[in-house]
Amino acid sequence: TSQVTTVREATPILPDVKNIIAIASGKGGVGKSTTASNLAVALAESGAKVGLIDADISGPSIPTMFNVEGEQPSVKKVGDKNVILPIEQYGVKLISIGFLTPADSAVVWRGPMASSALRQFISDVEWGELDYLLIDLPPGTSDIHLTMVQTVPVTGAVIVTTPQKVALADATKGLTMFKQPQINVPVLGVIENMAYFTPEELPDNKYYLFGKEGGKKLAEKYQVEFLGEIPIVQSIRESGDTGYPAVLKNGITQKAYKELAESVAR
């Protein structure tokens, strides 16, 4: 008897997206979203087509960092499906969990709700052709991380940490989570944020407020790449608050973010 085998090809998710990069951290407040937004803009400035998903339910700050707070993405009908159009700012296509919740309101996201929001951001948003889709994850390890790897083929994860001991301990957990068999995402490397403080007018004076080279040592320990460091600079914080990413302003900070983007893109 002849056997007929039907090979059913799964519909590829985001076939026109070349690289999906998760931006993760162990602890909150280490500058994950700041790094994600500056990286996204730096990649866009280099000529790449870039999208950014803000999946950080603990505090969706991307709308503020891109000065699109309160904006509502529009929805169009394609066949019988509703498609969400991302908001575009500084050359980056954006979607945020913050667009779904009114500003200033405390919305408690249960794990399954957050996971379904992420799934929607991936499958119902018109991303089109992209070179990079960055996903700004919540800090730590959560359902969202699992949902992400179950929904899309993640190219790799970038871990953001400060050099401080408590941040490094949590970053280690994040790093090892990506290596676990059920997650199994390659770690592209570690970014050390707030590596030292430097007054912008005195760039050669370095003060290691949170300790020295902790991120670098973490990368060495786990044999992943050290992607680079960003100092504590007042204008980085101000840029985040005013919604105009630091990488758009000429200067040493711009150079640092551009170099970081190059090492992530490599």
Alpha helix segments (H runs only) across the chain? 32-45, 62-65, 111-123, 143-151, 165-179, 214-221, 234-242, 252-265
Q: Which residue's Cβ lies closest to ligand ADP?
A: 31
Nearer to ligand ADP, 19 or 33 (CB): 33
Nearer to ligand ADP, 16 or 241 (CB): 241
Q: Does the annotation list 77 as a binding residue? A: no
**CA-CA distance, 248 to 77, in Å (whole number)?**
35
Q: Does the annotation list 37 as a binding residue? A: no
Q: In the complex, what is the shortest distance from the CB of residue 96 to ligand ADP, in angstroms, rounded to a whole number?
A: 13
Q: In the complex, what is the shortest distance from the CB of residue 14 to ligand ADP, in angstroms, rounded to a whole number?
A: 24
Q: Does the annotation list 32 as a binding residue? A: yes
Residue ranges in contact with ligand ADP by CB under 6 A = 25, 28-34, 61, 193-194, 230, 232-233, 236-237, 240
**CA-CA distance, 133 to 123, in Å (whole number)?**
13
Going by C-alpha positions, the residue among 25, 44, 27, 45 that lies closest to residue 35 is: 25
Amino acid identity of 106?
A
Nearer to ligand ADP, 61 or 115 (CB): 61
Q: Does the annotation list 30 as a binding residue? A: yes
**CA-CA distance, 44 to 59, in Å (whole number)?**
24
Nearer to ligand ADP, 130 or 159 (CB): 159
Pair 157, 178: CB distance under 8 Å: yes
Nearer to ligand ADP, 30 or 219 (CB): 30
**CA-CA distance, 137 to 58, in Å (whole number)?**
9
Pair 192, 224: CB distance under 8 Å: no
CB 181: neighbour CB atoms within 10 A? Answer: 5
Q: In the complex, what is the shortest distance from the CB of residue 61 to ligand ADP, in angstroms, rounded to a whole number?
A: 5
Q: In the complex, what is the shortest distance from the CB of residue 205 to ligand ADP, in angstroms, rounded to a whole number?
A: 15
Q: Does the annotation list 33 as a binding residue? A: yes
Q: Provide the annotated binding site for ATP.
A: 26-33
